[in-house]
Amino acid sequence: MRRVLTVAVVVAAVAAAGCGTGSHRRSNTAPATSAPAATGTSGPDPTSGGTGASGSAGTGSAAPGPTPSAPRGQGGSTAADPKAADAALVLDMYDTINRAFQAHPDNGVRAVIAAQYPGDRADVDFARCVDAIVPGAKTLPRSKRLHFSPNVATMTPDPGYTLTSNRVRGLHPKGRIYVTEVTISDGTRPTVRERHQVVLSGRAYQFSSC
């Protein structure tokens, strides 16, 4: 009878050890200081395909299965390339300028000035810009509706860009700097020029000189 009880205890112990495969064994071999996996505090990280932030294969989890991901940083920042989002901001900036020109060309000039990079405001002035478009004019005729079409397929990072003009010297803009081909037309002859843009604090800016 005693031998039967001993065998039963051994069998029960083996069975219990088999039930913890994949969780308790990994927990036992993990360093004592390892943090437990996040449990339901956030949704899957879209930049990592739902993989946990630590990249571990379920270490310290109570049961096998996918580990919920943890946020990568404050404000939802990720290591993903921001160019696509920045291109949308650049398109929106030029769209705002174009709509202002359609309402009235003088409004378009004001929109260009409003979109100027803050550190380069000395390069734009309403009277100078009007005179640059129509020499000698104090206000623009309705026929002078400029249109800006950025080709975001050509949008290229240019982190080393430094602005030097007649009024501003050696300005290195803050933010993410790009250079983009922009087609500029006034209803008669379109021209393609490389123009610089900056994305700073969730807004796009451009550089004009007039």
Domain ranges for the chain: 2-76, 83-206
Query: Would you say the C-alpha torsion 133, 134, 140, 142 has a positive or negative sign?
Result: negative
Q: What's the rounded mean pLDDT across residues 70-92?
A: 70
pLDDT of residue 187: 81
Query: How long is the chain?
Result: 210
Asked if 194 and 179 touch (Cβ cutoff 8 Å), the reply is yes
Lowest mean pLDDT of 20-24, 126-130, 205-209, name the range: 20-24
pLDDT of residue 183: 98
* Percent of the chain predicted with pLDDT > 70: 62
Residue 103 has pLDDT above 70, yes or no: yes
Lowest mean pLDDT of 22-31, 118-127, 197-206, name the range: 22-31
pLDDT of residue 27: 35
The band of 70, judged by pLDDT with boundaries at 50, 70 and 90, is very low
CA 168 to the chain's CA centroid = 28
Residue 120 has pLDDT above 70, yes or no: yes
The mean pLDDT of the chain is: 74
